[in-house]
Amino acid sequence: MEKIAVLTSGGDAPGMNAALRAVVHQAAMHEVQVIGISHGYEGLLNREFAPLDLSSVDDIIQRGGTILRSARSERFKSEAGQEQAVANLREAGIEGLVVIGGEGSYRGAQALAERGIATVGVPGTIDNDIPGTDYTIGFDSAVNTVVEAMNKIRDTATAHERTFVVETMGRKSGQIALTAGLAGGAESILIPEVPYNLDNVCQRLKWSAARGKVHSIILVAEGVASGYTIAQEVKKRTGFDTRVTVLGHLQRGGAPTAFDRILASRLGAQAVESLLEGGSALAMSYVKDEVLAVPFREVFAGKKQINRSLYDLAAILAI
Ligand code: F6P
């Protein structure tokens, strides 16, 4: 291969820039030219192509967001859109494509691979909801953002002796809430993967109050319910002064943690290696500190599990 392209797609995640940097450097080592495609699959359809040389990825390892910008494309989901994308890549002489994004972006990458464009995926999403990889790029940064927010919320919760419901992102996944909840000492963690009983949650809050703990944080993953709904129910059942914080897109921004930078660097470099080895329809994955290339089909057939022991431990530590 002499020319490959890279794009970032779906929700941005801290560390996407570090992955781009790794793609460009690894390709340069093999004297392969890299084309950056702006605005994800939408930009692929609009031929938003520009060469990425080493200087274009200077000074970005520490930056959140994505210098290529990101987008969600409806047009690309159609047959006609995918044919147009393939035609645009062929016309530009692009022989391989690295897609940095979540599972939705992987499905687009699979479609291109089926149409004869060698395409590989790099897991970039704060949600950590992609099967076949222990972690996705951006998850650790998002978790740290949530923990930092919890520290601050706890100060005011204690000062006013209040109960806070904090809503986290994650789509249908509770990975962010679970991990941040354990690290931030949440009194309760509500995630889609584990059924919950609000009466039990409230009972535990009352026990804690009875032993003198007058503040608490309930972390609720967006895939469970709105933080406002939970707060209303908690207030009704306990009478406690309750407030809500929806962390929202704060969780997507900011500098990537060292963990995410290293993860992104390793996975981005491996993506180029996989393409140059002739691979296609492969997802770069991080499993037990090893970097692997897993077929998209296996990823789509899998189900990302939570680590139940973390959930159980968090419940014990919260009492
Ligand atoms: O997939 C990342 C994510 O931030 C989810 O956690 C969230 O549900 C969604 O994207 C929000 O999407 P948007 O930025 O389009 O509002």
Kindly state whether residue 167 falls inside one of the protein's structural domains.
yes
The H or E element spanning position 27 is helix 16-29
Burial 173-207 (b: 16+ CB within 10 A, else e): bbbbbbbbbbebebbbbbbbbeebebeebbebbee
pLDDT at 131 over 80: yes
Question: 82 with 157, same domain?
Answer: no
Taking the C-alpha atoms of residue 136 and residue 79, their distance in angstroms, rounded to an integer, is 29
Question: 123 with 207, same domain?
Answer: no
Phi, psi of 291 (to 5 degrees): -100, 125
pLDDT at 167: 98
The answer, yes or no, to whether any atom of ligand 1 lies below 6 A from the CB of 171, is yes
In terms of Cα–Cα distance, which of 157, 160, 159 is closest to 187?
Answer: 157
Residue with CA nearest ligand 1 atom 13 = 11
CATH number of the structural domain spanning residue 213:
3.40.50.460
- Catalytic residues, by residue number, are 127
Kindly state whether residue 94 falls inside one of the protein's structural domains.
yes
Residue with CA nearest ligand 1 atom 6 = 170
In terms of Cα–Cα distance, which of 248, 224, 233, 225 is closest to 168?
Answer: 248
Domain that holds residue 210: 140-252
Question: 279 with 150, same domain?
Answer: no
Tens-place pLDDT, residues 18-58: 999 999 999 999 999 999 999 999 999 999 999 999 999 99
What is the mean predicted confidence (pLDDT) over 149-156? Answer: 98
Phi, psi of 95 (to 5 degrees): -100, -20
The answer, yes or no, to whether any atom of ligand 1 lies below 6 A from the CB of 11, is yes
The answer, yes or no, to whether any atom of ligand 1 lies below 6 A from the CB of 101, is no
The H or E element spanning position 118 is strand 118-123
Residues 6+ apart with CB under 8 A from 292: 284, 285, 286
Give the number of residues written for the chain. 319
Tens-place pLDDT, residues 75-94: 999 999 999 999 999 999 99
Question: 13 with 79, same domain?
Answer: yes
The H or E element spanning position 282 is strand 282-287
CATH number of the structural domain spanning residue 83:
3.40.50.450
Kindly state whether residue 238 falls inside one of the protein's structural domains.
yes
In terms of Cα–Cα distance, which of 262, 308, 254, 313 is closest to 64?
Answer: 254
Say what the pTM is: 0.98
| Ligand 1 atom at shortest distance from the alpha carbon of 171 | 8
Residue with CA nearest ligand 1 atom 3 = 11
Question: 38 with 88, same domain?
Answer: yes
In terms of Cα–Cα distance, which of 103, 97, 128 is closest to 14?
Answer: 128
Domain count, the chain: 2
The answer, yes or no, to whether any atom of ligand 1 lies below 6 A from the CB of 48, is no
